Chains A and B, each alone.
Chain A
């Protein structure tokens, strides 16, 4: 099973709202990732969690706050977003994020619209 699940599929929020994106995998992977993807562009790395610890933060604004409650779950908390944050948010997981590069498997994404 190489499935990464994400909820919700779609999210519309105002600039003053607080919302969360959720990601789950049951492949025993120890690295999990958040990517942002704008239309007709490649995914851009936002955060990497390795063994439930934040290992990479690609200079993402503080209005995006990641959380890894356990090895299977990854959340992205959103607060005071801007319209330009509207995008497809992708979660991915891999066997490990620190010792070489392993296959990364992506979820279907959450389509976020900020009004």
Chain B
């Protein structure tokens, strides 16, 4: 089955700096890669996703890049704000067409 590794597990940045979270996946059949943000006491919120026919996607301060050859994808958050503080999960769809999640990254934006 699919295996997704996510790094780092914790990340602290100063407000206004950029944050990058990286994930690798194992199943070459995976073709859908969403990112979720989970705030304390809430369910995961889909913030951006990318499909395998695209190399990069941007939505305001958030961008995702995908390298299918290397089987890795990354989340980039620019001009970070305190409200960006949360746990971020990457995920990949494997051959079973169900999502496999990474282990999560606790992002803290320091004011």
- B interface size (C-beta, 8 A): 20
- B44 near A43 (CB under 8 angstroms)? yes
Evaluate whether A108 and B43 lie within 8 angstroms (CB atoms) in the complex, with A101-B32, A101-B93 already known. yes
Evaluate whether A43 and B97 lie within 8 angstroms (CB atoms) in the complex, with A103-B34, A103-B49, A104-B46 already known. no
> Which of B42, B43, B89, B96 gathers the greatest number of chain A CB atoms within 10 Å?
B43
- B34 near A42 (CB under 8 angstroms)? no
- A104 near B34 (CB under 8 angstroms)? yes
The yes or no answer to B103 lying at the interface (CB within 8 A) is yes
Interface SS of chain A: loop
Evaluate whether A90 and B44 lie within 8 angstroms (CB atoms) in the complex, with A45-B98, A104-B34, A104-B99 already known. yes
Residues of A near any B CB (own CB < 8 A): 4, 6, 40-43, 45, 48, 56, 90, 97-98, 100-101, 103-109
With both chains docked as a complex, state the minimum distance between the C-beta of A6 and any C-beta of chain B, in angstroms. Answer: 8
Residues of B near any A CB (own CB < 8 A): 31-32, 34, 36, 42-46, 49, 89, 93, 96-99, 101-104
11 interchain pairs (CB within 8 A)? A4-B43, A40-B104, A42-B101, A42-B103, A43-B44, A56-B96, A90-B43, A98-B97, A101-B32, A101-B93, A107-B43
Residues of A within 8 A of B99 (CB): 45, 101, 104
- A103 near B46 (CB under 8 angstroms)? yes
CA A70 to CA B43, docked complex, whole Å: 23
CA A107 to CA B46, docked complex, whole Å: 11
With both chains docked as a complex, state the minimum distance between the C-beta of A4 and any C-beta of chain B, in angstroms. Answer: 8
CA A41 to CA B103, docked complex, whole Å: 6
- B45 near A56 (CB under 8 angstroms)? no
Residue from the list A42, A48, A56 in contact with B89, Cβ < 8 A? A42
